[in-house]
Chains A and B, each alone.
Chain A
Amino acid sequence: MENAWLIPLFPLGAFVALALFRRFLPGQGKWLAVAAVIAAFLAAWPVLFDLVGRGVGPYHFPREWFSAGPLFMGWGTLVDPLTVAMLLLVTFVSVLVQVYSLGYMRHEVKGRRGSHVADDPRIGWYYAAHSLFTASMLTLVLADNLILLYVAWELVGLCSYLLIGFWYERPSAVGAAKKAFITTRIGDVGLLIGIALLVAHTGTFDISANLEMVEHGELSSGITTLVALLLFAGAVGKSAQFPLFVWLPDAMEGPTPVSALIHAATMVTAGVFLVARLLPLYEASEAARLTVASVGLLSGLMGASMALAATDLKRILAFSTMSHLGFMFLALGAGGYTAATFHLLTHGVSKAMLFLAAGSVMHALHDETDIRRMGGLARRMPVTGTAFVLGALALSGVPPLAAFWSKDEILVAVANGLNPVFLVGFLIAIVLSALYMARAVRVALFGEHRADAAHAHESGWVMKGPLALLAVCTVLVGLVALPLGFDGVGSFLFDAAHGPHSFKADPVWMPVGIVLALAGLGLGWWLYDRAPGRVEALRSRFGALARLLENRYYLDPAYQWLVDRVVLAAGRVIAAFDRRWVNDVGMDGPGVATLAVGTRLRMHVSGFFADYGLAVAAGAVALALLLWLGA
């Protein structure tokens, strides 16, 4: 456990090796990257066993990085069950995604160049960025202090930029990458301000020490609330919550395995992780807690509703991620630490599978992503189809699949911890989740064959293998919640403030959850069964609502307006001000004025020799007179 810091070094080493020497390595070093991430995955298990053996901790291993003045910045590690769970999730998903990419990134070249099957020409760079992504996320979950956490946090953002913009010849990919980086960066401004403010008051970056001070009430409640909200701004950006979710749908420009990585393991989960890690800070402030819950619920509802209107398969999944992350924040706001982190794990597994399945579909259909042009794929691609259906059912909350258990936990937490408005909202969100999943499955996988989908074929084993493995996990992971053998996942993922928490089947909310999920699924299946008749009827009834959803609540144009008309306009105004006034008037002005005065003054200088002589003589006479009169 002391050596847990070594885990990120495997992918980090792979990144350095690939970044510098990929030209000289066989297959541009992709095998090295895969081997490194598998090593990291294997190295995470001893930490788990060690933790189970020693008790849940947390265990803190500080190490100095550098210090300035009285402040100490470290690269130490903090190991507790949350860390270990994240370590396993991140490395597991990374392994599967990297293996899957071995097949996926071969296909891409064939799709774009049309001639032969080969690796993408920049495959080495792809794997380098992947490795750095994994390494950063592992560092983030291991960090024992805020500065290291921020370092990893920013590196995660950088990797998302590099990978979303991987195909940088496409302007849309470059735009999406830029949008992702800048949008999350806006949240990060809040995060960094929050960190700086907190540290200015506590004098240490150490997470445990800071939380201890918060718990002992050494910070004023105003500062606590302010810091909590500022830090939450960072989480909102990274986890694509309202109002900073605009980058998420565009981020689909990256290669699909990257989306799987971002959505399941390495990026959007960072926000939830941050709030979970700092939960005592939020529990110390009622306002912050309610803000987290409200933003979570709002994002859950908005994401689900936008997923209902989207026609791009990957975007549906993206909005679904936003919605589920919202549920996690809702749970955290309700004090459901276990529920949120458990949902983080189950959702990660299922969402990774869904994205990989979607990638498999795109692979078969030459990058087609519009679900209206798919159909009947389940029969042609049985493994992909099964995986997708399983993932959809799991995220809809159908027992006994993984996400059902965690969703149920969230439901119980919300029912107990927050006022009924949140509960009602969450119940609506459950129905919506099931509804959009049913729609995606119904339209894309079943129904009649569309022309484009006729020659779809199943993918190779490197792509089917990870899908199958994730499908098994989706079925089984949820069962760890049950008290079989040990006290269930709740006893493992508890937070110190609330003690162990084992799973209990709630007699009211469990049936309600199941019924609502099934109702949503049934409704979706029925609505989209005979497309487009029933849906068109609805659309004409609620045209305004449909347009609102299709335009993603008009936040994109609003931000675009803000950037074009306010930020860039301010830039132009300031730049012009700088040139005309500060430079031309303020700086050149004195020079110009001196020149002008000189021009006037030189008028009396005639150039006639006699004029000068006369002036000298007159001067001498005047001087003589002056002396004479004075004396």
Chain B
Amino acid sequence: MTLLHFQLLAAALFSLGLYGVLARRNAVLVLMGVELMLNAVNVNLVAFAAYRDIPIATGQVIAIFIITLAAAEVGLALAVVLRLFRSRGTADVDAIRGMRG
């Protein structure tokens, strides 16, 4: 297993996540895409930290930060989605065009 394998895995995960974010219409699935992308980054961080000689485990620490932030983000985002669903009766992101110019 070389660094390249981990990078390929991370790239694949990121692309999957990006596809999910861009192509899915259900807000919950969009959020899952975001989670995938975040975790792809985590994989990268940890892999670099392991293969390169980086002191005091910087990569792992940042990865833990991201996991924490991602948890908070998902909590907040799900709450927003829930409110949207309550008020609009749908979780379809295309139906919510409040930001249209």
Contacts and interface: CB of A to CB of B under 8 A. Distances in A.
Contacts of A613: 18, 21-22
Greatest chain A CB density within 10 A among B23, B93, B101 is at B101
B22 A607 contact: no
**For B96, B98, B100, which residue has the most chain A Cβ atoms within 10 angstroms?**
B100
A484 interface: no
A529 to B, nearest CB: 96
A609 B96 contact: yes
A227 B87 CA distance: 84
B43 interface: no
Contacts of A612: 99
Interface string B86-101: 0000000110111111
Nearest to A601: B101
Contacts of B94: 608-610
Contacts of A610: 21-23, 93-94
B36 interface: no
Interface string A604-625: 1111111011100100000000
A603 interface: yes
A608 B97 contact: yes
Interface string A580-619: 0000000000000000000001111111111011100100
A606 B22 contact: no
Contact of A607 (B21, B23, B99): B99
A609 B98 CA distance: 10
Contacts of A608: 93-94, 97
A234 B99 CA distance: 71
Nearest to A621: B18
A365 to B, nearest CB: 83
A605 B18 contact: no
B101 A605 contact: yes
A106 to B, nearest CB: 81
Nearest to B96: A609
Contacts of B23: 610
Interface in A244-263: none
A530 B50 CA distance: 136
B22 A617 contact: yes
A608 B24 CA distance: 12
B10 interface: no
Given A613-B21, A613-B22, A605 B93 contact: no
Interface in B13-55: 18, 21-23, 30
A607 B18 contact: no
B61 to A, nearest CB: 24
A608 B97 CA distance: 6
A605 B101 CA distance: 5
Contacts of A607: 96-101
A456 to B, nearest CB: 89
Contacts of B18: 613, 617
Nearest to B100: A607
A604 B101 CA distance: 8
Given A604-B101, A609-B93, 20 more contacts: A601-B101, A602-B101, A603-B101, A605-B99, A605-B100, A605-B101, A607-B96, A607-B97, A607-B98, A607-B99, A607-B100, A608-B93, A610-B21, A610-B23, A610-B94, A612-B99, A613-B18, A614-B22, A617-B18, A617-B22
* Top-9 shortest CB links A-B: A602-B101, A607-B100, A607-B97, A605-B101, A609-B93, A613-B22, A610-B22, A607-B99, A613-B21
Interface of A: 601-610, 612-614, 617
11 contacts: A605-B99, A605-B100, A606-B100, A607-B96, A609-B94, A609-B96, A610-B22, A610-B23, A610-B94, A613-B21, A617-B18
Interface of B: 18, 21-23, 30, 93-94, 96-101
